[in-house]
Structure formats: C-alpha cells, structure tokens
Structure 1
Amino acid sequence: MSSTRKTSPGGDAGGAVLLILVLAGLGLYAAVWGVMSLSHQLDGTGADVPVNPIEFVAALTAGSLAWAPSALMLGIAATVLVAVVVIDGAFLIGRARGKRSRVDVAARHMGRGRDVEGLTKQNAVAIAKRLGVDAAPGVVVGKSVATGATLYGSWEDLHVVIAGPRTGKTTSLVTPAVVEAPGAVVTTSNKRDVVDATRDVRAKRGQVWVFDPQGVAEEPATWWWDPLSYVTDDEKARTLATHFATGSRDASAKTDAYFDGAGLVLLAGLLLAAAVDRRPITDVYRWLTRPTDETAADVLRERYPVISDQLLGAMQSPEKQRGGIYGTAQQMAACLTNSRILPWVTPPEGADKWTRQAFDPHAFVQHTDTVYALSKEGAGNAGLLVTALTVAVIEAAEDLAKRSPNGRLVTPMLGVLDEAANVCRWRDLPSLYSHYGSRGIILMTVLQSWSQGVDVWTESGMKKLWSAANIATYLGGVKETGFLEDLSKLVGSYDRVTSSVTSGQRTSVSRSLQRDRILDVDELSALPRGRAVVLASGSRATLVRSLPWMAGQHADAIRASIQAHDPHSASTLEDAYVSLASMQAADREQQEAA
C-alpha cells in the first residue's frame, strides 16, 4: 500500500496548520503564565512566579508553585480569549489562502531581482541619463508581483502588446504611456477613449492634432493633410500605394496575382504623377475612371520615362485586361470617393483656405506635439489613410534622427499603434521594427490576439515582429491555444518535490523532482484583470500588476480631460474607478495572503 503527497507551487496545507498550532501553543503558554502571575498578585500570596519557561513548567510539575484562589475565574476568561484569537486567526488565514490567485503564487518561480535587471527603474534612469532624456525614465510596464518594484521599458525598447477585449490595455498601458511621453506622440485607435483622456494633458506640452475622417471622436476638420506630400519619388509612391492596397481589403479577401500587382503599379504611377504635378489626390481617382486619359503619363514623361511607359501600357492594353487593372486600382482607392473623408486630405477652398492649417509631418516631429489618427473598421474605412499618416510621421522622425547627434532623436518620440491590425496595417512594420529603437522612435504595437497579427503580416511576419520587440506583454483574454502553449513554454517550468510514502511491513518515504509548467495554458487564458506576463530581452518572464492611470500622478488631469470631452464622461469615469477599486481589493487580498 502506498500514498503520494505532492507539494504545489503555493506550498501545502500542512504548513498553515503547523503555523496555527505553534501560535496556539505560544498563546496557551502566555495565558497560563499570565493567569498564574496575575492571580498571585491579586490574592497577595507573595509567591514568586518564574519568568523562565523551563523553570515555570518545572515548578508546576513538582507542585512547588500552587494555583491562587482567583486563578479559576482568570483561567476561564483567558481560555475564552485564546480560543477566540485562534479561531479568528485560522479563519483569516484560510480565507486569505482561499482567495489567493494561483497566478500570483506562480510569481515566486518567475523573474525577480537580477532576472529582471533590465526592467528596473535604475536601469531605465541610467539609459535615460546616457541619452540625455530628463523627463520620464521610460515607459511603465507594471509593478512586479514578486517584489513590488515598478518595471520600465527604457527609451531604447520597443513593445508588442497582446491583450484581449476588456483586459485594461487602454487604462494601464496606452493612456499612461501617452501622457508621460517626453516628446512627440503619434497614436492610432478605432475609439475615442484615448483622445478624450489625454488630449488636454498633451495640449500642455504642444499642439494636438486629431485626424478623424470617419467621425470616431466627432472632431471637425479644422486642419488637413495631403497624402501626396509624402510622395517625393517613385519609391514613396509605391509605399503609399501599398498602404492603399493593404488597407482597402479584408485580411481574408482573395487576391489575384496579376490584377493586384498590375493595379498596385498603376495606382503608384498615378499617385506619383499627381504629386509631381501638384494636383489634389482626388485627381488620382478621376484618372482611374478615365482609362484612356494619358495626362498622368505625359506628366511623368520627362522625369520618370519608364513609369510613364508603364502607365501607357496599362492604358493601351486590351479592353478586358485594362478593365481588370483599373477596376482593381479603383477598389484600392475607393476611400477617395467618401465625401466625409475628402476634407481631411484635400486643400481647403473659399473661407476655409485661410482657417484650416496644413499638417506637415517634418515640422511635427521637431516639437512635442501629439497626433491622434482614428478610423473605424468596415466598408469605406479610413484605415489606409491612418496608416499613411502614421508612416509619414514616423519616417519624418527617422529623417530627423539621421541628422541628429548619434543618429537618434534628442527627445524620443512615442508611437502607440493601438488596434494596429484594424486601423494601421503597416505591411513593412515587422522588418523595420528593431531599427526604430536605435533612432529614438519608441513603438508600441497593440493587438487583440496573435491571429490578428497573422492576418496582416502572415505567421512568419508576426513571429518577426514578436521577436524584434524588446518587451512583449500579454494581458490575458486570449483563447488561442497555440499561442498560449508557446507563451507557457517561454514563461518556463519549475521543479516540484514529490513525496511517496509506502506502507507495509516497513514504511518508506521517497522523494523525487518533477518538472511542471509555471503557468499552463488554462491559467494564461484566464489571467485575471490587473495582471500581465512580461517577456523582455535578457530577462526571465515576470508577472506584473497593472498600474492604471486612475492610481497615477496624472489622474486628476486625465479625469478633467475626460469630463471636458467625453460625452458619456460620468459613466466612463465610474467604470474606471469601479475597475480600480476591484483591482485594489484583489491586491489587498493578495498582500494579506502573502
């Protein structure tokens, strides 16, 4: 006959029972000694009650120390008091252990101390000092569950965040990062929450630009940006055409190898012609509806003769072939027919000509301004223009960095690509990611799931992006077992002691080490709100506690900004603080359990 006892990550119940018994024994001894001493003093017997526990027990056993008359009543009172204390203590310990999260218990096996030295505030401050940044030491990642220390990404680290719906990414990562950024900020989104929460805070540092061609935040078109200002040569024209192609179709849409390629080449040529001839971008779509109009080819004849011939080749191809090429290009540029979008990307006329300012990405990156680029998913979305604007700003920052000391921006620029797979589908992002950290351009790409990234960049592209990021953060809410299995492996394993007791003629005990996952797939899928797993270069995976803006130093300013701009500010703030209260209550329970 044999039985097996296993020790779990949180320890075994025997430890708690032993602790209770030890405390009860000490309490019982203190009560007995106190009753004996106090009773002799009350009755005035003059007996000497030894303070030394050994002498006291020996005197009681030998009978040389008798009980005073009042000891009975005092003993009854002391017994009741000790019983109440022991019972309450056992209840509190049991209650705390019962509410203790298995996830938090796992933190003892994850990164701490030197294992996460690259994420410490000291490291971030040292890097900021070396780079000459006097403001915030870096982007706050969270607070270590194991040690309570606040962890930072430095001004050289790039981020990838995977967070399912309602996991607190906006309140805990995006909003704090935007308000604490020392330099220029460009951020994308499909909702207005970040804009409402941060625009007044950012306005104290510089001008705020809200690019809202679909009315996500109901922002009026008080300024405009010409996408053709980005097109300075044929390479830029093809890049802009690629943004149109990628952003104009669903990730699952079927493509045609010939017509998609030919349509992209046609669109790139027409964009280049419009830019060279200083025309509005609407002329590009007008040319697409007139396949026999050779104006664009004529414009390019002198400076770009090969591209001019390409355009003529498409225009003079057989009718069905030409129809397929032009039809494909029209689909890519379909957003240029949206009357709501056009005021944001075409020159103002009439009275607006003197009141609507033109946005210049190269001037923007030289200041501490903020641009919010917003779009919704679905038909007629402006996601391709959001991508084009975001890329124009980031590449302008790169150009400035090249001309700056040490080839990097003097003051880092932050780019938060929230909802990147929906509104900022930048095809070349994985290949360029690691380069931007050395330029002082700190990017944070936020996705709802691994598969979202695969839809935009393919499996290999998503792996490249994940690996290029210095800091990868997972906030929970994902049910993709493949991704969670890989993440579980990256978090690692721990050695658990297993004891086997064999009973028979002789009783023997054997111990062995068993290797278990620190966080299994089911635990990662059910990661509680307010917790995140962080994987950083050169560091062990660590479990962190989220730090929502409501508990930060900018809470009052953010709250005021929400009240000033959010049409549902009362419910928004109530939800935020209810969430904070829930997280704080969970934290208190964890601290009590510890």
Structure 2
Amino acid sequence: MDRVSSPRSSDLDQLLPWAVVAVAGAGLTVFTVVWSGGTLGSGLSGHGWQAPPFTLSTMARMASDGPAASWPWAPAAAVYGGVLGVLALIVLPVALLVGFLVREGAGRKGLAGRRELAPLCPKGVAARARELRPGLRGREHLRPDETGNLLGDLAPHGPELRSSYEDVELDLMAPRAGKSTGIAVPRVLRAQGAVLLTSNKSDVYAVTRAERAKAGTVWTFDPQGIAHAPRTMWWDLLSECRSTEGARRLAGHFVASVNDDTAKKDFWISAAQNTLTALFLAAARNRAPLHELLGWLADPGDRTPVDLLRDARLIAMAEQLQGTVQGAVETRDGIYETARQTVACLLDPEILAWVTPDPDLPEFRPDQHVLGQDTLYLLSKDGGGSAAGVIAGLADATMRAGVVAAERMGGRLDPPMTAVLDEAANVCRISDLPDLYSHLGSRGINVVTLLQSYRQGTRVWGEVGMDALWSAATVKLLGAGLDDADFVQKVSTLVGQRDVRTPTISRSKDGTSRSYSYRLDPVLPPDRIRALPKGTALLLATGIKPALIRLRPWYKEPGADVISAAAKAETAAITERAARRLIPGMPQTADGTEATGIPGPPGVHLSKPAADGGQRGAAPA
C-alpha cells in the first residue's frame, strides 16, 4: 500500500510550489488591474489621479471592502468603469491572439491555412488577374468577380478564396450536396463574359435567366422541353461538319451518347462513327438537309452520299463509304443500324426542328456568342431518347469557337468565357474532354465539370480518361456524399499524414517521468471525407496543400431576395407552360405555346420571342 501512495505524495510535493506561485501571480495580476483601473477611472472622471499605495495592505482592503473604498473621493461607477476598461484592453488583444492561433492551427494539423492559400486569397488572385487580363492593367480597384471565380470561404472563419480565370475545375459531389446552389448558380451569376451551361433540370435556368438577361442575350436550347421554353432559335448542326475534323467530332458526340465507355469502342461503334463522319461531311459540303441525311441512313444502298463526296473532291472518304456500302450485306446492315441508333434522337421532329435552318427565327452562332456576355442554356433529358449528342455537339462547337477567338485576341479571351458542364456524364459526353482540359484554361475558357462521383466519370471516359481529367483539372472540389471507398481512400492518401504526439507517463518510487512518442495519422481519414457536411468541400488546388472550405450558396449572398423573386416568377412560368403542353388542341398564344386560360402568377406575363434571338420567357410585368 505504501509503495502505491508514495509516488502520489511525491507528485503533490512537486506540484505544491508551482501552485503557490500560480496563486500569487494571479492575485498580483488582479490587484494590478484593479489598482490601475481605479486610478484611471478616478482621473478620467475629474477626481484626481492620486493612486493608493501599491502594497499588500491596499490589496487586503480592496478584497474586504471593494475597490471603491481605496478611492473614496471618486464615484464608485467611475472606479468600476476604469477597472472594466483596463480589463478590456488586456483581454481583447489576448482573445485576438488566441483566435489567430486557433485559425492558424488548422494548417499545423495538416490542412492549408491562410498563409499556404495566399495565391487564392483576394490579394493573390487580384495580382494574378492583372497578369491574365489586359483590360484590368492599370486599374487600382477591381471588383472581386473581375479577379477570379468564387470557390468559397476557408473554414472556419475565412478568408474568401477564388480560383484564377486560367484554372479548369472538376467538382465531385453527391446529389443535393450543393452543386447547383453553391457552384453552378454562383458561377453563372458572377460570370464576366459569355456563359455556357448544360443541365438536365430547369433549376439553375430558373434562378439565373432573369439576371443573365440583364447582361446580354439569353439563348435557350431546350429540344426536349426541360423548361418548356418555346423555340426561338435554331442551330445549324451541319455547320461544324464542313471539315473532316468537324464531321468526325460531331459523329463522336453521337456515338458517345450511346456508348457508356468511349475508351472502349468495338467494331460496330467504330465503323458507325466512320460512316456518320462520311455522311455528315457529304451533307455539309453540299448543303443537304438533315432529313435527307436520315434518308441515306435508312437506305444503305443509296449511292447519293458517295457521289456527293466525289463531287466535293473528297475521294478517299468517298472510297471508304463505298467500301462499306458494297461490303457484305450483314456487315453493312449492322454498321448502318448502329449508326441509326446513335442519331435516333433526330427522328423526333421536335428535336430535329432545333437543328434545322428556320428563316423565321434567328440562328445561334457560336463564333459570335463567345465574344460578348450572352448566355447559352443547353437543356436535355438523360436516358432513352436523350438529345445528349446534340447538346454535346453544340457545347463542343461553342468551346472550340472560344479557342479560335482567343487565338485572334493574342491567346486568351478577355473577358473570359465560363462553361459550366452540369451533369456532364449524362447530357454532355464530350469524348475528348480530358484532352481539352489541358489547354482550355490557358485560352481564357474557364470550364467547370460537375459529376456525382468519380465512378460516374469512369463510366463515360474510362479509367484512363477519368485519370487524365482528374490530373488536368487545376482545381478540384470534393463535396458531401462520396461513397466510393477506393476513391475516398486515394483522396485521404493525397491529403497526406501528420505527426501526432502521444505522451507516456511512468511512475516509480523516485517520482514521475513523462516521455513522448510520435506516430503518423491521416490528416483526413476516409470516414471523415465521406462524412463531410453539406455545404463544405475539400479543395485540392495545384501546388497548394489541401484545404477545407465552406461553399457560398447564392441564396445567402447580397441581393438574393431579388434573384429569388425572379426565380419564383420563372418557375411559375415553366409550370404554366408545362400545363399548357399537357392539354392538346388549345389555341396558341403569342409565344407559340397553347393557351389554356390557366392564370399566371401576379405580375408575370409571357412575352413574345425577342427579335435578337434571346429567350425572354417569363418576365416581371
């Protein structure tokens, strides 16, 4: 029993002197604060700067009778006010210092802090913007949105972080984790130049359309009625097919829309793409309409496209198509049937009308769109009957037009173009998107690809393609709900490890000794990455330690009430248009939809299509 109690007695003996020193120091500090504060209060109140003696007897009198007893000539309120003032002067700097140390402690725990993220902070990103955008040089004050894309705030207390306009971004988040409210909508609202948005829902369109209409023309490409927008534009699908490269790219977009892994093409898929390339090229070079091209596909024995290719002096392409037509009947029919399946969406007359020249409506021109501040909404359903091939073709044509315009400007678009590819794996399968990422950012085309998971991207671009997309993205945001165990483990490895100090206490009859050992623990274990709360994201930026950020949803930003009101009006208009389409045989209104007598929301009306091709839809009266 004595052997057990002896070390404890020894511990108390060692701690007792330190306890006495601590109590004495605390008492002296309190007395000093009261003594100086009371004197300050007496002097400032006009009752003299005379201070009581700085002695133990004064300390005892203050403890027994209170501070006011040492300054009987001054009001008690003045004495206590002076004490509180001196206490605040001491506590406030200490609190600020502790807060600073706590904020900086996040970096020491393995994640980036304010110092490591300096290139993404306001000063760093503003300096980078002046280098990238010639139009900003010489200006002393820049608006935040002119300097870069808002990512969010460094958790837990800031500052605001932005990526530069040469960054390209990949965001992985589960459904309802904040992709639309925290990323897609803010990017569209804050964009400085032309905007391109793809989606399979109308939510982002409804929130942003009214605001973007203030910046420029709004083009709504909605062939499947996602927002039930009336057709007020058309795009010449074959305009991109006048070169062999353009025809092959368009054929690739249609093939990718039905092929889950573009990295794995069997014989039929590859042969169908070659055949489509030849047919697109023949139709474009001879200005044949799309319905005639569909007729060629329906009749493999039709030699018209071969003759048209010969007339256009595309002899090699004509010979290749003729070889397919004259091949074994089973093989030829299999190739043509595969090609027909890839462009099956064009059999729908409503979809075909959006990509067929219409003299009564304005034509959308990608080369003109990228030079202004117009907005292009590309809406399509996913699954069977999807117009994903058309959407991918138009998105690709617009981004490539941006590259051409950047080359004419000296290498970079100014103001930069914003391309938000929401639901890219479902409605915008650009097969070589990983390769485009490598240089789009350097051209002033800021691309943001939104996926629900890493595996979803693998299904579209294959393992190699998705790895290339991951590597090419200079900014990556990983949000809530990532349930792929292998991927989350890889992310945890990328975030890294940190040293954790573990104390070891040894007791003996001679006293107590303390030693420390170190071990490596993950900065963010996989379970913590999976359990990231909604509204937060892990930021991985090239050349910078990982950081945890808080997204900034559009509805929490200044001016959200105005945007929300416009969004409600637009949503009501979409609902009304949807109801009209469900009732056949009704007379048409001015905007081309069916009139039903269903009342619209107060202060909202459906206007006629804009003469300049902008989709004006529903607007406040």
TM-score when scaled to structure 1? Answer: 0.77
DSSP 3-state at the match of 1:535: strand
Distance 1:342 1:27, change over 3 A: farther
Distance 1:472 1:26, change over 3 A: farther
DSSP 3-state at the match of 1:224: coil
Say whether residues 1:132 and 2:141 are aligned partners.
no
Say whether residues 1:567 and 2:572 are aligned partners.
yes
The question of whether the paired residues in 2 share the 8 Å contact of 1:477 and 1:527 is answered with yes
Query: Which residue of the partner structure matches residue 118 of structure 2?
Result: 117
The question of whether the paired residues in 2 share the 8 Å contact of 1:117 and 1:539 is answered with no
Distance 1:566 1:160, change over 3 A: same
Say whether residues 1:519 and 2:524 are aligned partners.
yes
Give 2:290's match in structure 1, choosing from 281, 284, 308. 281
Distance 1:104 1:370, change over 3 A: farther
How far, CA to CA, are the matches of 1:104 and 1:198 in structure 2?
A: 37
Query: Which residue of the partner structure matches residue 489 of structure 1?
Result: 493
Distance 1:282 1:118, change over 3 A: farther
Equivalences for 1:101-112 in 2 at 5 Å? Answer: 109=109, 110-112=111-113
Distance 1:65 1:508, change over 3 A: closer
Query: Which residue of the partner structure matches residue 452 of structure 2?
Result: 448
Amino acid at match of 1:367: G
The question of whether the paired residues in 1 share the 8 Å contact of 2:261 and 2:462 is answered with no
How far, CA to CA, are the matches of 2:64 and 2:244 in structure 1?
A: 106
Query: Which residue of the partner structure matches residue 364 of structure 2?
Result: 359
Amino acid at match of 2:433: L
The question of whether the paired residues in 2 share the 8 Å contact of 1:563 and 1:569 is answered with no
RCO comparison, higher one (Cα < 8 Å, 6+): 1
Report runs of 4+ in structure 1 exceeding 6 Å deviation: 25-30, 64-68, 102-105
Distance 1:333 1:395, change over 3 A: same
Equivalences for 1:61-140 in 2 at 5 Å? Answer: 109=109, 110-130=111-131, 131-134=133-136, 136-140=146-150
Equivalences for 1:102-251 in 2 at 5 Å? Answer: 109=109, 110-130=111-131, 131-134=133-136, 136-251=146-261
**Runs of 5+ unmatched residues, structure 1:** 3-17, 38-48, 72-101, 571-594
Distance 1:55 1:143, change over 3 A: farther
How far, CA to CA, are the matches of 1:451 and 1:177 in structure 2?
A: 25
Distance 1:274 1:53, change over 3 A: farther
Query: Which residue of the partner structure matches residue 297 of structure 1?
Result: 306
TM-score when scaled to structure 2? Answer: 0.74
Alpha-carbon deviations, 1:273-313, whole Å to 9, x = none? Answer: 11111122232221111011000000001321111111111
Amino acid at match of 1:279: A
Give 1:550's match in structure 2, choosing from 546, 555, 559. 555
How far, CA to CA, are the matches of 2:30 and 2:326 in structure 1?
A: 104
How far, CA to CA, are the matches of 1:27 and 1:389 in structure 2?
A: 77
How far, CA to CA, are the matches of 1:409 and 1:67 in structure 2?
A: 76
Distance 1:255 1:160, change over 3 A: closer
**Runs of 5+ unmatched residues, structure 2:** 5-18, 39-50, 70-101, 137-142, 576-621
TM-superposed deviation, 1:325: 0.9
DSSP 3-state at the match of 1:321: helix
412-421 or 142-151, which moves further after superposition? 142-151
Equivalences for 1:474-485 in 2 at 5 Å? Answer: 474-485=478-489
- Aligned residue pairs total 498
How far, CA to CA, are the matches of 1:65 and 1:309 in structure 2?
A: 107
Distance 1:296 1:476, change over 3 A: same
Query: Which residue of the partner structure matches residue 431 of structure 1?
Result: 435
Say whether residues 1:265 and 2:269 are aligned partners.
no
433-442 or 115-124, which moves further after superposition? 115-124
Give 1:466's match in structure 2, choosing from 467, 470, 479. 470
The question of whether the paired residues in 2 share the 8 Å contact of 1:112 and 1:147 is answered with no
Alpha-carbon deviations, 1:443-465, whole Å to 9, x = none? Answer: 11111100011111111211211
Distance 1:52 1:414, change over 3 A: same
How far, CA to CA, are the matches of 2:27 and 2:355 in structure 1?
A: 79
DSSP 3-state at the match of 2:349: coil
TM-superposed deviation, 1:485: 1.1
How far, CA to CA, are the matches of 2:339 and 2:254 in structure 1?
A: 9
